[in-house]
Amino acid sequence: MASKIFRFIYYLGNLLSISKIQIQFITIYKVLFVKFYSGYKANYFSNRNIENFRTFYPLFIIGGNRITVGKNFSSFRRNRIEVFGSILNINYNGKLVIGDNFSMNDDCHIACINNIIIGNNVLFASKIFVTDHFHGQMNKESFLKPPALRSLHSKGEVKIGDNVWVGEGVVILPGISIGENCVIGANSVVTKSFPKNSIIGGNPAKLIRSI
């Protein structure tokens, strides 16, 4: 008797796992949760009531009052957007501006103490790091301290122009300007600026060709 019950439960689970009912339920649940979570997180930024703001869980935000986001913002999972106001008793006045139609995939990190400006129609793949600062300067005074205790230092703001596509695993370092209509290849480390209409790749990134 017990074996028949177990067999029935097994086949019921098997049936539900492929049923359209379960698929529809999960889909509806995900859509509703994304709507709820997006509405909750949209109020973290300096400009509230953002048109067509969408984010998946989780989205980590520091210094939202220093961040401006355009319409049609889309963020996938485990992304971090940080504008630090004070670290190690040093105050910063950084600002992050993200234009319209911005989309980033999973595990991206934007860190700011100076200024980071991202244009319209910019697409980030996954595992991208954009920063305008380092932990300390490359000098003896900084090296006498543990890395975590070195004051943050910016070599300049970061600008990413309109219509830029940033590939998987890219790192964009401080003081960099990327012109409009650029493509940055996967796993590139961008250490210098590039003009518009550039295809960039490598570590350190180099100009592959211009369009």
Closest of 99, 95, 49 to residue 69, by C-alpha: 99
The structural architecture, per CATH, of the domain 43-210 is 3 Solenoid (2.160)
Annotated catalytic residue, options 109, 133, 135, 153: 135
Annotation says 135 is catalytic: yes
Closest of 143, 153, 209 to residue 182, by C-alpha: 209
Q: What pLDDT band is residue 163 in, cutting at 50, 70 and 90?
A: very high
Phi, psi for residue 154 in degrees, rounded to 5: -110, 135
C-alpha 109/C-alpha 126 separation (Å) is: 10
**In the structure encoding, which two tokens stand for residue 97, read together?**
């501006």
Strands (DSSP E) contained in 70-155 are 74-75, 79-83, 86-87, 90-91, 95-98, 103-104, 109-112, 115-118, 123-124, 129-131, 134-135, 152-153
> What is the predicted pLDDT for the residue at 140?
84
Q: What pLDDT band is residue 46 in, cutting at 50, 70 and 90?
A: very high
Q: What is the pTM of this model?
A: 0.84
Q: What pLDDT band is residue 14 in, cutting at 50, 70 and 90?
A: low
C-alpha 36/C-alpha 40 separation (Å) is: 6
- Model pLDDT for residues 82-118, shown as the tens digit of each residue: 999 988 888 999 999 999 999 999 999 999 999 999 9
C-alpha 179/C-alpha 156 separation (Å) is: 16
